[in-house]
Amino acid sequence: MKELIIVILTLVIAPIIGGLLFGIDRRITARLQGRYGPPILQPFYDILKLLGKERIAVSRLQFVWVYSYLVFMIASLLCLVLQSDVLVLVFLLGFAGVSLVLGGFSTKSPYSHFGANRELLQIMAYEPVLLLFAVGIYAQNGTFLISEIFNQSKPLLFNLWPLFIAVLYILTIKMRKSPFDISTSHHAHQEVVKGVITEFSGPYYAMYQLAEWYELVLVLGIVALFWTNPLWVGILIALAAFLLELVIDNVAARMTAGWMVRLSWTVGLLLGIINIAYIYFTKGV
Amino acid sequence: MGLIHNSRIKSPWILHFDNSSCNGCDIEVLACLTPLYDVERFGIVNMGNPKHADVMLITGPVNRRTARVLKNLYDQVPGPKMVIAVGTCASSGGVFHNCYNVLGGVDKVIPVDVYVPGCAVKPEAIIDGVVLALTKLANANL
């Protein structure tokens, strides 16, 4: 019964938090650029407007993939709040990413295909690091369960700080922020229009945005896992990471897709592997 | 329906299309996005994608080449949508009205909701035009 309440609360509260964070994101970005910026509630106006738009489907399967993107993202978030398995969480997040790619490939638009190919590259860049994050938790606690992280009195950050840096890299890719804004091309419309989401319009685009809100809460939740005792420190760390991403977004130029994969593999994988090797070395396994 | 109706007015996403303009009006359209005017205050965002747009800002006279593209873009914007002809050329053809390759204003090809005259249009006038289009959208019974 308690779990059911947690599930319902998550389904309702997560998009509200995500939407507000997106609103704060747009406001802070505007201030960093010397502009006034939209109201904090702007993402909610946008999504409500999109829900009221005309439905134009360019392929029969497109909306199936958008809904599966949303459902897998929610399932992944539920894994986190129900303190289930980290490994399952990572795989569900992977399925969500693949759904978006298939949604992009289900249309005939070349921009959409370009974006889908790049989204695949993004998945290739972040998925191994997330897996290493799960393995790192296993190396530290001896189990993949998130509930075990909450039982430990010593925060993960002390032993897993190199993996924390790697996860910050992933955060930039997952939030689609500037150095790694490859597949959806948020600011550079001239390049691939809107990339993988070019063909999603009206209510389907609203579904995509809703999934993005859940995703933002999810990745910030993953960052917060590094300090769970007490949890408010972890939440503060996650919010600080969020603000850091906004600053990085505004000071950095976009990189090419190749550079994104190279950087995340060299920095992310190297830090992760060294971190896990060190934990096993000190444990004497 | 009231909530969605109110949101429509608060988040117009713009598609900017240049027929065969001299780029004077295009520069003024982009000037609206700069810190001085900052139209994102009103939720106005410049979209590069017709499928995400609500309001079309069209500059320049329509010629025989761009007429087909303009019609295509108009069909790709999901309704409810608004069309704003920005500048004298887009409104009537302007100084190019009797050129052999020019059809005339935007209204020769697609229905136009708001005309914003001027050569080149002032950014204030463009913002005024968008506000006028939004008032029309607010009063429309959709």
Which ipTM score applies to this complex?
0.87
Identify the burial level of A260 via C-beta atoms within 10 angstroms of its C-beta, where 0-12 means exposed, 13-18 middle and 19 or more buried: buried
Q: How far does the CA of residue A93 sit from the closest CA of chain B (Å)?
A: 26
Amino acid A240: pLDDT: 94
Q: Do B4 and A55 touch (CB under 8 A)?
A: no
Beta carbons within 8 Å of A180's beta carbon, 6+ residues apart? A122, A125, A172, A173, A254, A255, A260, A264
Amino acid A101: pLDDT: 92
Give chain A positions within 8 Å (CB) of B78.
53-56, 201-202
CB A126, CB A93: distance < 8 Å: no
Q: How far does the CA of residue A150 sit from the closest CA of chain B (Å)?
A: 41
Q: Do B78 and A53 touch (CB under 8 A)?
A: yes
Q: Rounded to the nearest 10 degrees, what angle do helices A203-224 and A86-105 cross at? A: 150
Q: Do B40 and A55 touch (CB under 8 A)?
A: no
DSSP track, B35-95 = TTT-GGGGT-EEES-GGG-SEEEEES-EETTHHHHHHHHHHHSPSS-EEEEESHHHHH-GG
Q: How far apart are CA A131 and CA A128, in angstroms?
A: 5
Q: What angle do CA B18, B65, B23 make, to 5 degrees?
A: 25
Residues of B with CB under 8 A from a CB of A: 1, 3-8, 10-11, 13, 35, 38, 40-43, 46-49, 51-52, 54, 76, 78-80
Q: What is the pLDDT of residues A97-119, one digit of tens each?
A: 999 999 889 888 888 888 899 88
pTM, 2 dp: 0.90
Chain A, window 202-261: residues with a beta carbon less than 8 angstroms from a chain B beta carbon: 202, 205
Beta carbons within 8 Å of A276's beta carbon, 6+ residues apart? A132, A135, A136, A139, A163
Interface test with B, best of A35, A40, A58, A190 (most B CBs within 10 A): A35
Q: What is the pLDDT of residues B38-58, one digit of tens each?
A: 888 888 888 888 888 989 999
Q: Do B78 and A46 touch (CB under 8 A)?
A: no
pLDDT bucket at B1, cuts 50 / 70 / 90: low
Find the closest chain B residue to A190 by CA distance.
B48
Query: Prior bond to B67 cis, omega within 30?
Result: no
